[in-house]
Structure 1
Amino acid sequence: MKIKPRVLRLPVNESGRDFVVGDIHGHVSRLFKQLEGMGFDRNQDRLICVGDLIDRGPESQQALALLNEPWFFSVLGNHEYLMVNALRYGNSEHKMLWLTNGGEWIASTRKDQWEGWFNQIEELPLAIEVSNRNGVRYGIIHAEFPADHWSQLETLDDKQTQAAIWSRGQFKARSEHVVPGIDVVIHGHNVSDGELHLGNRFYIEPGAFKGNDFIIKVL
């Protein structure tokens, strides 16, 4: 699967709120119980995920079904990437990596479901950009932003797009750098104890698959 450095730019939500959640990893029921407590309204609010909808939890099919909802948006995560590479493109190395990291749920599905999932995953943007009603611009991308300026996103090369869904370097270094060209960047992928704020970047993956509550930011 070739990752396209595509950005989905959402219009300002004038009628409701925008919620951003960390990696869902197949825990849809728990997510919606938490959203219910925050007053999430599907008729006017939107939910944006930082990627990794699937694997490790019991509801990966339900997580993929969210892609059919008009109020739900997600960027590409490394787990979706592995799934497509393993099953659509026959990459044996990625298949082994995927199955040993939560992909075993696929054995309980029908093969006639797969093609639709593959198509949806290959259309996922690498990043989402959205502003709130106060004019604050948010960028959502799975692992890290690998270039010098947000405006370079749509010209990332293959190495950089891979870093955008896989890299842990900036997180491990606890780099305090600011990504120019965007007010706030929100990441998942790297598990931290609570929300981690570095520069103008926020990491919101607490490891829900370990039983922790999701981190959900309201923009």
Structure 2
Amino acid sequence: MYKFTRLLSLKTNTLGRDFAVGDIHGHITKLFDQLEKISFDFSRDRLICVGDLIDRGPESSLALDLMNQDWFFSVLGNHEYLMLSALKYKNSEHRLTWISNGGDWIVSTDPGDWAAWFNQIEKMPLAIEVTSKSGLKYGVIHADYSCSSWLDITDLSEEEIFRAIWSRSSFQKKDDFVVSDIDLIVHGHNIHEGELQLGNRLYIDQGAYLGNNFIIKELV
């Protein structure tokens, strides 16, 4: 497993609003349509994605380009992890898994673009935290968080990192445990109709690639 940033801490946005959005999966046109409906201000507001920018949708390369925008942030999803492992680190098993789960868009791209995408993915943190203007502390992490305290995020074991990127167990068990030292953790990865809160963890992936709208949650 390559080394990456464990935690990105964002300063409180005193000028505008912060939002979290579920897995984008290459649906940029739909995303921008919904941002327009909430009057998203690209000069003041910020959007934090729960990961899985790419695959299964028609605009995966444009989704990766979002990482170049000052108003956009994303944690690492399992689909970005698979892409990097498959193409840069030549993991043949991950390549098969990735291609069969929506990564086939890569065959129509210019390999000359790949290095820049690898660089963007390797800069994606495992987790993001931000404190809202009201004083609530939010964490964003793709799949799961198995530790009892949010303070452990910078010292996770390999197994705990794997769970953070891949695990569905807490969601499937509807486990309502509460993580200390954080007010709310926002997850994607697991599709659910509408928001689902378990303990102080909130799942917001509604399956945009299946034709559903994004859940865009304001962090108040």
- TM-score when normalising by structure 2: 0.98
Partner of 1:191: 191
SS in 2 for 1:213: coil
The equivalent residue for 1:57 is 57
**1-structure distance, mates of 2:57, 2:215:** 17
Return the letter of the residue paired with 1:85. S
Amino acid at match of 2:125: P
d(CA) in 2 for partners of 1:123, 1:213 = 28
Distance (whole Å) between structure 1 residues aligned to residue 170 and residue 106 of structure 2: 32
In structure 1, C-alpha distance between the alignment counterparts of 2:39 and 2:178, rounded to whole Å:
32
Residue 5 of structure 1 contacts residue 161 of structure 1 at CA under 8 Å; is this kept in 2?
A: no
> 1 CA distance for matches of 2:155 and 2:110?
37
Equivalent residues in 2 for 1:1-219, closer than 5 Å:
1-4=1-4, 6-219=6-219
Preserved CA contact (<8 Å) 1:5 1:153: no
Q: Which amino acid aligns with 2:72?
A: F
Matched position secondary structure for 1:73: strand
How far has the Cα of 1:38 moved from its partner? 0.4
Q: What's the CA shift string for 1:143-195, capped at 9, x where partnerless?
A: 01121210001000111101101000000000111111100000000011111
Shift in Å, 1:4:
3.2
Segments of structure 2 that go 5 or more residues without pairing to the other structure are: none
Name the amino acid aligned to 1:11.
Answer: K
**Aligned mates of 1:191, 1:180 — CA distance in 2:** 25
Conserved 8 A contact 1:3-1:161: no
User: By how many angstroms is 1:3 displaced?
Assistant: 4.7
Q: Is the 8 A contact 1:20 1:49 kept in 2?
A: yes
Checking the alignment, whether the CA contact within 8 Å between 1:23 and 1:188 is kept in structure 2 is: yes
Conserved? CA contact 1:177–1:199, under 8 Å: yes
Q: Which runs of 5+ in 1 are unaligned?
A: none
Q: Do the aligned partners of 2:183 and 2:200 also contact (CA within 8 Å) in 1?
A: yes
- Tell me: CA distance 1:48–1:153, structure 2 relative to 1, closer, same or farther (3 Å): same
Q: Tell me how far apart the structure 2 counterparts of residues 90 and 6 of structure 1 sit (CA, whole Å).
A: 23
The number of residue pairs the alignment matches comes to 219
Q: CA RMSD in A?
A: 0.8
Letter in 2 for 1:199: G
Shift of residue 9, structure 1, vs aligned partner: 0.4
CA contact (8 A) 1:45 1:71 kept: yes
Cα distance change of structure 1 residues 11 and 133 upon mapping to structure 2, 3 Å threshold: same
> TM (normalized to structure 1)?
0.98
For 2:69 and 2:4, how far apart are their aligned partners in 1? 22
Deviation at 1:136, TM superposition (A): 0.2
1:102-147 Cα shifts (integer Å, max 9, x gaps): 0000011111100111111011100000011010000000001121
SS in 2 for 1:30: helix
